[in-house]
């Protein structure tokens, strides 16, 4: 009972302390925390590890994600209810909000920062907007062969050259859209990549796009630098002959980690992390974990990999040494560990702990917790350095 009272008091104190942001401050050390249950977000800064203000009225944030303008002044929030919001993080207010679809699942911003693309479950396909005023530029369907319906789209990322890449869940295809000429978007369709691609990542140089397959074993792998873009299967043995498990990964955030040598993929349902060699794209080894992994995230230097887990074991974090490929620390943070975000140079990692209404901040060198911030049912954490990274 005392713990509940303390948590409520902390939230009351937080509400009293976040009345207004500083309009003239710089934004390089700022970010946001999604408060999924209340349709709000916290604007934070990581130099002092503190909350600056709260913004309300952002709709259904149950699977929300965000991208930033090039100047890091605006966050674009993609809500599950189809809402697209442009938030001025200096002023701490919504500049514009539109409902662009019935059910959306993430988005991306183009290399120039001119275009915002949104991935939709309903009505399917993607929509592209001007980042300045959120006016519609293109409504691009994702066709399903032999049907008039649009497919759900997932795994939407940006790549260099004013381009976006995304997967068609029911259509079993991957698409690349070039917005160099906004009046005539060029669409490249990569057909029959595998059954039901459901989540994806792109390498940090924009070359490799990899989609997980919900409907079959293996992954779809696309080299976007090739003159003729094709898909091939990798890890075709993954899950072969074994019991099928439900997919716990939330598609608003790529759940796989990469450093210069390896890719680290959560083996859903198998309590393991798959380690792929990036030269051969073949499985190198597996790392045994405490529970069923959801996300694996590499620190900016690539030296350590942090992993969180699916319900009912979602109170744990495990840290892996990328050289020895061994678990070096197991942390019990509290129920509902949903997301991790590293500060730009990787000195700290912020961790949302939904059921405790807290965000924990860990020193990545000592692996010890250094601060706790109260937040209302926190999930995604997004710092402004994402503005200058591909595929986030």
Token duo for residue 247 = 């997919």
Q: Tell me the pLDDT band of 243, cut-offs 50, 70 and 90.
A: low
CA 347/CA 159 separation, integer angstroms: 27
Average of per-residue pLDDT across 129-133: 98
**151 DSSP 8-state letter:** P
Q: Is residue 8 part of a domain?
A: no
CATH number at residue 121: 2.130.10.10
Domain hosting residue 221, numbered range: 100-251
pLDDT at res. 392: 80
Q: What is the pLDDT of residues 135-159, one digit of tens each?
A: 999 999 999 988 889 999 999 999 9
Lowest-confidence range among 21-25, 85-89, 259-263?
Answer: 21-25
149 lies in some domain: yes
In a domain, 9, yes or no: no
Is 38 a residue whose pLDDT tops 70? Answer: yes
pLDDT, residue 146, reads: 85
Q: Is residue 301 part of a domain?
A: no
Higher pLDDT, 254 or 340: 340
Residue 12 DSSP SS3: helix
**Which residues partner with 146 through β-bridges?**
none
Return mean pLDDT, the chain.
89
Separation between Cα atoms, residue 24 and residue 90, nearest integer Å: 7
* Total number of domains in the chain: 1
pLDDT at 89 over 50: yes
Q: Give the residue-averaged pLDDT of 285-299.
A: 94
Percent of the chain residues past pLDDT 90, beyond the cut: 74
Q: Are 36 and 250 in contact (CB under 8 A)?
A: no
Task: Report the pLDDT value the prediction gives residue 254, as an integer from 0 to 100.
Answer: 59
Burial 121-139 (b: 16+ CB within 10 A, else e): beebbbbbbebeebeebbe
Rounded Cα gap, residues 349 and 370, in angstroms? 10
- Cα separation, 80 vs 294, whole angstroms: 20
Can you tell me the mean pLDDT for 197-206? 88
Q: Calculate mean pLDDT across residues 17-28.
A: 72
In a domain, 244, yes or no: yes
**Confidence category of residue 1, pLDDT binned at 50, 70, 90:** very low
Is 61 inside a domain boundary? Answer: no
Reference 64, options 87, 44, 30; nearest CA is 87
Answer yes or no: is 12 within a domain.
Answer: no
Q: What is the mean pLDDT of residues 97-116?
A: 94
Evaluate the CA torsion angle 70, 74, 80, 84 in order and state its sign.
negative
| Among the ranges given (17-26, 129-138, 173-182, 340-349), the one the predictor scored with the smallest mean pLDDT | 17-26
**Model confidence pTM above 0.95:** no
> What is the separation of C-alpha 292 from the centre of its chain, rounded to a whole number of angstroms?
19
């Amino acid at each position: 009972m005392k713990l509940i009272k303390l948590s409520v008091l902390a939230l009351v104190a937080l509400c009293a302390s976040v009345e207004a942001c500083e309009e003239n401050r710089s934004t390089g050390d700022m970010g946001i925390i999604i408060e999924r249950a209340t349709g709000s977000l916290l604007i934070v800064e990581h130099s002092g590890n503190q909350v600056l203000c709260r913004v309300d009225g952002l709709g259904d944030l149950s699977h929300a994600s965000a991208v930033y303008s090039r100047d890091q002044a605006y966050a674009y929030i993609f809500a599950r209810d189809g809402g697209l919001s442009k938030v001025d993080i200096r002023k701490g207010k919504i500049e514009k909000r539109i409902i662009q679809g019935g059910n959306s699942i993430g988005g991306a911003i183009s290399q120039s920062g001119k275009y915002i693309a949104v991935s939709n479950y309903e009505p399917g396909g993607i929509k592209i907007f001007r980042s300045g005023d959120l006016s519609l530029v293109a409504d691009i369907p994702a066709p399903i062969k032999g049907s008039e319906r649009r497919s759900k789209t997932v795994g939407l990322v940006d790549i260099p050259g004013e381009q976006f890449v995304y997967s068609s869940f029911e259509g079993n295809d991957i698409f690349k859209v070039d917005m160099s000429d906004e009046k005539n978007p060029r669409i490249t369709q990569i057909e029959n990549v595998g059954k039901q691609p459901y989540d994806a990542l792109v390498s940090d140089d924009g070359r490799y796009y990899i989609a997980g397959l919900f409907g079959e074993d293996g992954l779809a792998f696309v080299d976007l630098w090739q003159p003729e873009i094709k898909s091939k299967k990798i890890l075709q043995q993954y899950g072969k002959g074994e019991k099928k498990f439900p997919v716990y990964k939330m598609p608003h955030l790529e759940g796989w980690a990469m450093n210069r040598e390896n890719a680290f993929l959560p083996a859903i349902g198998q309590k393991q992390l798959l380690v792929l060699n990036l030269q051969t794209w073949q499985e190198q080894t597996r790392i045994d974990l405490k529970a069923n992994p959801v996300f694996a995230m590499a620190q900016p230097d690539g030296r350590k990999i942090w992993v969180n887990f699916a319900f009912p074991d979602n109170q744990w974090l495990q840290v892996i040494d990328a050289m020895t490929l061994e678990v070096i620390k197991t942390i019990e943070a509290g129920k509902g560990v949903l997301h991790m975000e590293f500060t730009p140079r990787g000195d700290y990692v912020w961790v949302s702990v939904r059921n405790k209404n807290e965000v924990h901040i860990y020193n990545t060198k000592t692996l010890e917790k250094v601060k706790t911030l109260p937040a209302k049912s926190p999930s995604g954490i997004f710092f402004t350095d994402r503005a200058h990274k591909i595929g986030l």
